[in-house]
Amino acid sequence: MIDHEHALSIQLDNLSEIQTQIQSIEKRAVQLGKTISNTFKLAEGVSSKVRQLHGVQERVQLAIDAVEASIGMKSCVEGVEQAIKIGDYEKAVEYVSRVLHINSDKSEDEQERRNTLFKKSEKKIKEIVSSKMKEALRDENETQIKRFSKLFSPLCMNEDGLSLYVDFLSDKCRKELESLDEVERLTYIRKQQQQYVSFIDIITQILDIIVSYIEDCEDFVTSNFGGEKCTIYLINSLQHVCDKMVKKVLDVYEKKRELNDILTAVSKKPNTLPIKKDLNTNDPRVLDLILEEIAEISSNIEVYKQFIAGKCINIKTDGKNEMYTLTKEPIIYRRIQELMSFYIPIDMSFMKQSFFKAIQLESDEDEDESSKYSSIINDVFFILQKSLSRAMDSQNVSVVCAIVNHINGILATDYFEFVKKDVSLISLIQSNNKDDFVKILKSLNNIQISSEYILKLKKEFERSYEIKFFKNKKAEPNSPDRMKLKSGASDLVQTSIFFSDELRRYTQKMVSAKEYCLSLEQDISFLLDSELKHPANSIAFYNLSESQFAARELNNIFTTKFIANMEKVLNVYKKYLTKFNFEELVELAIIILCDYLERQIFAKRFSSFGGLQLDKDVREFMDYFSSKTDRSVRDKFSRLTQIAYLLKMSEVDDILEIWESAQHWKLSVGEIKNVLSLRLDFKQEQIHNLSI
């Protein structure tokens, strides 16, 4: 403690000095607080005076604004009166518009006061503009009409101006359309009288004129009456004119072409074309042209419909004002649907009658023996293709689907009955009648070619409808229209499959016909039986010694004779069958041969050399039939080749080496053991104990 006494003394002295400094700082802080308080009071006083000055300034500014507005209002009133006196209505409207639109954020009382001051001038110029517009309309002065049309929007009279101007356009358009040739005089068909104007020409002109008015006037209407929504009002008004004119033309057309009479006739007797003297509608060519007329009229209206839809698709409206709502079902669209209700039954009757006429023409002609199928097939599919193409030209998906359905109906009923009519001779032939034989083969060819043509028709249909309906559109892959058309194409495929199935059924019936002298099944069994069932061969046919095997290798009468005779049989068919049908026949011949050989094999006994001989025989048959067709025959011979392989093995256990290989066995385990049991030198016990 004594040691630290000096240090403690020094620290006490320091604390005394710090205390003195703190007291001094405290005095200065008190003085600073008083100074700040005084400054705050002064600032508060200044701020209060500034706020008072701001209020005074605002009142002064309001007074100035009121004075300026009064001066401006007076100036505008004087400007309006002066402009009216000199006929400068654009300037007068400009003055009024300036007052109507300036200071729109003012209070309602202020606006009311100003409107009251300006009311007379505003009313006066509006009356003058309306009067001048009506005067220009009476005089049909288009220059003045456009001049005063531009003045309605600045006066906040958009709808009044739009209505007057569009009414003028509609009236002008109506007069222009009425100047066209009188449709009552049109009784001929355009393609018969190219030098005159036809119904199609009239309708085309009407639609072109309507479209030109929309295109030419759209910009003026939208820029002067309130934006793009005005386009809808323009279209609706012109559409009313269009509806009236097109309906008039179509009513006359329906009467002149006597469509009701034609429809009544085809409804009573669908397979007979109606007879009319004035238009020669008993001539299918005339009906064909009438159908083309209707399709082209439909196409023109559909193109027009798409044009209107394209104009309005991106226009946004609130939907509350009917003035700017597009008419949903104009008369022209409903009227063309009514016209197309004639088209479908008439075209259906026309197709069927054309088909019957083609049959009659073929029966009157001498049969072309050089042709493997009937010429009527080309005629019928030309008619069907033309009807389908014409339906697509109409641009009406519902009509196209109806025609496709009818085409399928004709193909699966009347047409199929015709092409397969001679197949019934299969069960009637009792003798070697070449004419009937050729008719049967030709009938099979007709079915096969028809199936092929149906697929061609389907492919052309798919290609055409993509171009006609979807080429320039962003249609969804599964849109309703596309799905309807795809369904029609799918139906054509099913019809083609039906023809193919029937072709195979009738071909199988022909080759296996018991009463038919040229039955392929009987031919093959006869050729095989002549050797395999010969009394000298019978069971021992494949029980060969080495010397017998060597002798047959030099001269295999069995396969040589069969192939030579089979060649003659197949050549008879090849002469009259199409390539496809001949290959079908060869395929059936292979199946018959393999089935018959397999049955005969299980009735024989084999030596090891007999197994080798069977393998050689099967390979020769396979090579021969491979040369007769472009199709693969290996699969058809697979059971025989496997049987031959088993019968040529040296030992029973050789089967174990290949059993687990990748080879796909056509034989079951039981069948394999049965085959092995045919070998005379294989022990039955060893075969029975095989672990496979």
Task: Please report, for the domain that includes residue 667, its CATH number.
Answer: 1.20.58.1970
Tell me the angle at which helices 480-511 and 579-601 cross, rounded to the nearest 10 degrees: 50
**Given this model, what pLDDT does residue 540 score?**
67
**Given this model, what pLDDT does residue 193 score?**
47
* Tens-digit pLDDT profile for residues 413-449: 999 999 988 887 776 555 456 778 888 899 999 999 9
**Given this model, what pLDDT does residue 25 score?**
81
End-of-domain residue from the set 148, 182, 202 = 148
- Same domain for 500 and 555: no
β-pair partners for 679: 606
* Tens-digit pLDDT profile for residues 105-114: 455 555 555 5
CB neighbour list of residue 47: distance below 8 Å, 6 or more residues apart: none
What's the structural domain count of the chain?
4
- Same domain for 379 and 275: no
For residue 338, being part of any structural domain is answered with no
pLDDT above 90: residue 213 = yes
For residue 243, being part of any structural domain is answered with yes
**Given this model, what pLDDT does residue 101 score?**
61
β-pair partners for 606: 679
55-59, 123-127, 482-486: which range is least confident on average? 55-59
For residue 342, being part of any structural domain is answered with no
* Tens-digit pLDDT profile for residues 618-658: 999 999 999 999 999 999 999 999 999 999 999 998 888 88
Position 389 confidence tier, pLDDT thresholds 50, 70, 90: very high
- Same domain for 530 and 508: no
For residue 544, being part of any structural domain is answered with yes
- Mean pLDDT value of segment 142-169: 90
- Mean pLDDT value of segment 245-273: 81
pLDDT above 90: residue 321 = no
* Tens-digit pLDDT profile for residues 573-615: 999 999 999 999 999 999 999 999 999 999 899 999 999 999 9
Q: Which residue segment(s) compose the domain that 674 sits in?
A: 519-688
The rounded percent of the chain whose pLDDT value lies above 70 is 81
For residue 354, being part of any structural domain is answered with no
Which of the given ranges, 141-155, 356-370, 501-515, has the highest pLDDT on average? 141-155
The rounded percent of the chain whose pLDDT value lies above 90 is 45
Q: Look up the pTM and report it.
A: 0.76
End-of-domain residue from the set 328, 353, 375 = 328
**Given this model, what pLDDT does residue 196 score?**
44
Position 278 confidence tier, pLDDT thresholds 50, 70, 90: very low
For residue 344, being part of any structural domain is answered with no
Higher pLDDT, 44 or 567: 567
For residue 26, being part of any structural domain is answered with yes
- Same domain for 279 and 266: yes
Q: What is the DSSP letter of 189?
A: -
Q: Are the CB atoms for 584 and 504 separated by under 8 Å?
A: yes
Structure tokens at 510: 């022909």
**Given this model, what pLDDT does residue 87 score?**
74
- Same domain for 178 and 120: no
**Given this model, what pLDDT does residue 349 score?**
87
- Same domain for 603 and 586: yes
Position 409 confidence tier, pLDDT thresholds 50, 70, 90: very high
**Given this model, what pLDDT does residue 53 score?**
72
Alpha-helix residue ranges (DSSP H) falling in 423-514: 434-465, 480-511
- Same domain for 523 and 509: no
For residue 15, being part of any structural domain is answered with yes
- Same domain for 536 and 677: yes
Q: Which residue has the tokens 């009166």?
A: 81
**Given this model, what pLDDT does residue 459 score?**
96
Structure tokens at 445: 């060819």
Backbone angles phi, psi at 679, to 5 degrees: -75, 125
End-of-domain residue from the set 118, 148, 178 = 148
What is the number of alpha carbons within 13 Å of residue 576 lying toward its C-beta? 19
Mean pLDDT over the full length of the chain = 83
b or e along 356-390 (b: 16 or more beta carbons within 10 Å of the residue's beta carbon)?
eebbeebeeeeeeeeebbbebbebbbebbbebbbb
**Given this model, what pLDDT does residue 173 score?**
94
Structure tokens at 180: 């066209």
- Same domain for 510 and 526: no
- Mean pLDDT value of segment 477-487: 89
* Tens-digit pLDDT profile for residues 531-568: 776 655 555 688 999 999 999 888 888 999 999 999 99
Q: Report the helix count and the strand count for the chain, using DSSP H and E.
A: 24, 0
- Mean pLDDT value of segment 326-343: 92
- Same domain for 81 and 122: yes
Q: Are the CB atoms for 213 and 311 separated by under 8 Å?
A: no
- Same domain for 385 and 488: yes
- Same domain for 316 and 250: yes
- Mean pLDDT value of segment 194-213: 83
Higher pLDDT, 7 or 249: 249
* Tens-digit pLDDT profile for residues 57-91: 666 555 555 545 554 555 666 666 776 777 777 87
